[in-house]
Amino acid sequence: MKPTLDELFDQRQTYPDTDARTRLSRLIGLDEQKSRLAKILGLLVHPAGLEAWSNKHHPGATALLDTVLRRPPLVILAGDVGSGKTELAETIGDSVARLEKIDITLFPLSLATRGKGQVGEMTQLLTTAIDYTLAEAKKLQTVRGAKSNGGIILFVDEADALAQSRESSQMHHEDRAGVNAFIRGIDRLAQAKVPAAIIMCTNRLSALDPAVRRRAADILTFTRPDEAQRRHVLHERLEPLGLSKAQMDGLVTATGAGNGHGVGFTFSDLTQRLIPSIVLDAYPERAVDGKRAVEIAQQMTPTPAFRDQS
């Protein structure tokens, strides 16, 4: 029985979207990743833009254009937990939509596509997901050189659970077949030259199948926030509460790797754990106290680093 769209994809999203734009703007310290990812996706939607750039700055560089435009429509976002990969993947479509002045639709591939281990199930689910993505993207195609009428992003989170290396001796036959189906799907999207791209997120880059990694147009890496980035996140949200400079410095220090931990806080540790904890500690009887806020940060343990074993 052919899987339904609800079985294939989680909640689909269309851009431009105000909420996505706000979430994207809150990703501090990821300007390079934002810019590179938006450019790659933009070229898939409007490859003629690169041709216009070449004609203006490097006329006659046809081999250069062919090299850039022939890359598979796959980008891998890799790095530590809580570093902003998933949030960027879920919101970058808004930036592309506004830049190119078209609608972008995100198809988040459901982890249910791994199936229940039945023979042929995972392969069928992945093939159907690619089929649907390809069919929707073809509807948006226009004549060569013209901007498409829209774009599709197929988003695969926790990609190492779906496209793990076939070199593993412990890999089940059905899992191998599923990875083969996924690789064929990447190639089909590339050959069709449709306005569609795949974004994969993983904490374990080395666990991805080598054939998948080789097909990536780019691999963007993500790390935990440094001192300046942590200060920006904390200051933006806590400055209105009247904390002193010394207290803010204390928070920045307490959330770094030098506070008895091997690693510092992740972006999500700061925004989803520490700051809410500071607020809830004071609510509802009293105002937030800077000294107490530092104590909470010192007592909190950052999310352990994910070990990417080769």
Give the pLDDT of residue 71: 86
Question: What distance lies between CA 131 and its chain's CA centroid?
Answer: 22
pLDDT digits over 12-36, tens only?
A: 999 999 999 999 998 888 999 999 9
Q: What is the C-alpha separation between 202 and 175, in angstroms, rounded?
A: 17
Percent of the residues in the chain that have a pLDDT greater than 70, as a whole number: 89
The pTM is what? 0.86
Q: Are 50 and 68 in contact (CB under 8 A)?
A: yes
Question: What distance lies between CA 176 and its chain's CA centroid?
Answer: 24
In this structure, which amino acid lies at residue 243? L
Give the pLDDT of residue 119: 45
- The number of helix segments (H) and strand segments (E) in the chain equals 14, 6
pLDDT digits over 138-166, tens only?
A: 999 887 667 788 999 999 998 887 777 66
pLDDT digits over 292-308, tens only?
A: 999 999 999 999 887 65
Identify the three-state secondary structure at position 76: strand
Q: Are 200 and 74 in contact (CB under 8 A)?
A: yes
Give the pLDDT of residue 310: 45
Task: Show the tokens assigned to 304.
Answer: 């352990």
Pairing outcome for strands 218-222 and 74-79: parallel
Which helix (H) or strand (E) segment holds residue 104: the answer is strand 103-108
Give the pLDDT of residue 115: 54
Give the pLDDT of residue 44: 82
Q: Are 310 and 167 in contact (CB under 8 A)?
A: no
In this structure, which amino acid lies at residue 151? G
pLDDT digits over 72-128, tens only?
A: 899 999 998 888 999 999 999 999 999 989 999 999 988 665 555 554 567 788 888
* Closest to 197 (Cα-Cα) out of 63, 51, 37: 37
* Closest to 74 (Cα-Cα) out of 168, 209, 165: 209
Q: 270 or 114: which carries more pLDDT confidence?
A: 270
Q: pLDDT at residue 260 above 80?
A: no
